[in-house]
Structure formats: C-alpha cells, structure tokens
Structure 1
Amino acid sequence: MNTLHTPTPPSPTLPTQPAVPLTLQWKRQPLPPLQAVQVLDFRAGDIALLEVEQGRVWVTCDGLLEDYFLEAGQRLSFTGPVRLRVSAEGQRPARLNWAQHRAVEGAAYPAAPSSASAPAATPQPKATAPTQGALPRGAISAA
C-alpha cells in the first residue's frame, strides 16, 4: 500500500521586535552612613532608574506611603514627575547608581556599570518589593 506523506509546514512565526537598547549616562551616588538624606528630582515624562552597587539603600518617594530597602544588585524605577529621597541604611556606606531618560516604549534597561574592584552583585530576594498598579506616578518596576 502506497501512502503519500505530506510534511506539515512549520507554523508561521511573528517577527519579534528587538528591544531598543538605551544608552544611559549612569551617575554614581556615594551614600555615607549617618549622612543627611539626599534628594533626586525627575521631570514629567522621565524614567528614573536606581540600582544599588554596594550596601543597603533606603528610598522613599514623595506622595507614596511605601519605603523601599534595596540591597546591592537590586534596581527600582520610577516614572516622573517624582522626588526621591535616598540614604544609606544602617551603619555601613552604600553606593547608588542612577540614570534618567525620556520614556521609550520597548526600551531595554541595561545594568549600571559597577566598579572594577567590586564583586559582581547578586540580587537578593526583597521582602519590601513594590507592587505595580496602585502607585500614583511612583515605582513601576523592581528587579
């Protein structure tokens, strides 16, 4: 018995849009212990990216009830207009890298550059991870 075998054509795949890589100018913010809180202001339409390079950093956003505690390797982003207040948490120094950019749909956020002498940061689980949706103009993501 002869049977014809017709191969099934592969399913068409939709072309994927590559993420738009952003070129960000990161600023390194040293946060000595017991120093006054530092203020970072961002305009409407800006995205503020924060990434802790070293230590533990306290972040609060004017108008939000939540405070955020980030460990080395963790990041957080906010949509402007926003005023952030940051400081080292505890008795140890911390270092915060931050960048701002205009909102770009489909943007891929590169990691902040770390100093050559610092070991690669490993993200730690967060007990204080922000949530999306209920925050007015505040935190939009955490990793």
Structure 2
Amino acid sequence: MNSLHTPSPALPTVPPLRPQALALQWNRQPLPPLQAVQALEFRTGETGLLEVEQGRVWVTCDGLLEDYFLDAGQRLSFAGPVRLRVSAEGGRPARLSWARHRNSDVLDRSAAADVPAPGASIRLQAA
C-alpha cells in the first residue's frame, strides 16, 4: 500500500444504476489506519457497491492495474466475479459501506441494460 497522496486514475463512466430498482442491505466496515488489507469478494451475477462514509480508502481489484483512492461520499461499483482489496489510506481511520446484489434478483428488466459486463467497473452518481 502506498501511503503517498497518489491521485486515482480517471474512473470509467457508464449510465448509473437506477436506485429505485435495487433493494440493498448495506454493511459497514471500519478500516483502522495501518490495519491489514481487507478482501471483499463478489461472485458471477453479483454487483458490489462501495461507498466511503469517512476518511480515504484505497481500493484495488485483482486483475486490474489501476488502484482507486476514494474520499468520503465517493462511490464505486464492480460487477462480479471480482475480488477487491480495501484499506484506509494514510494514518487516519476510514469507514466503508458496501452492499452486494444479485443482478437478476433485484433489477427489473428495464434496468438490466445498465449493469456492466463482469469485471467492469463503473462510477455511480455522488451521494
């Protein structure tokens, strides 16, 4: 993990998911400073949604070269199958909220076109 203030690469943009089509249960994950990297896994047919509640969070995805640095209020999503690695960036604590959903279970048919292909990442609208 690089503790230097490194800018994140530009996030790819695609149409956002329609919030009214999702029924999500959010999980809160505290990320103390200097703690080991946490792993989050999402299976085929699932989309993982991340939102930083507090601090700055480092996110990387197995198989992608880019690292992402998200500040409080920023969101990111990844379509499975994917393994994400997250931790607090720098010497301050952070808190991450994350949710998963089964693409076929919670999206209506009209929203299904908004879901990216497996392994793709998208940027959601700001909170």
| Normalised TM-score (structure 2) | 0.72
Where does residue 139 of structure 1 map in the other structure? 121
CA contact (8 A) 1:64 1:138 kept: no
**1:26-45 → structure 2 map (5 Å cutoff):** 26-45=26-45
Q: Which one has a larger percent helix, Structure 1 or Structure 2?
A: 2
CA offsets, 1:48-77, max 9 Å, x none? Answer: 000000000000000000000000000000
Aligned-residue CA RMSD in angstroms?
A: 2.2
* Matched pairs, number: 100
**1:69-108 → structure 2 map (5 Å cutoff):** 69-103=69-103, 104=107, 105=109, 106=111
Unaligned runs of 5+ in 2: 1-17
CA contact (8 A) 2:44 2:118 kept: no
The amino acid across from 2:98 in the alignment is: W
Q: Residue 89 and residue 19 in structure 1: after superposition, are their counterparts in 2 closer, same or farther (change >3 A)?
A: closer
Q: Percent identity?
A: 71
Structure 1 residue ranges (4+ consecutive) displaced by more than 3 angstroms after TM superposition: 18-21
Q: Residue 26 and residue 136 in structure 1: after superposition, are their counterparts in 2 closer, same or farther (change >3 A)?
A: closer
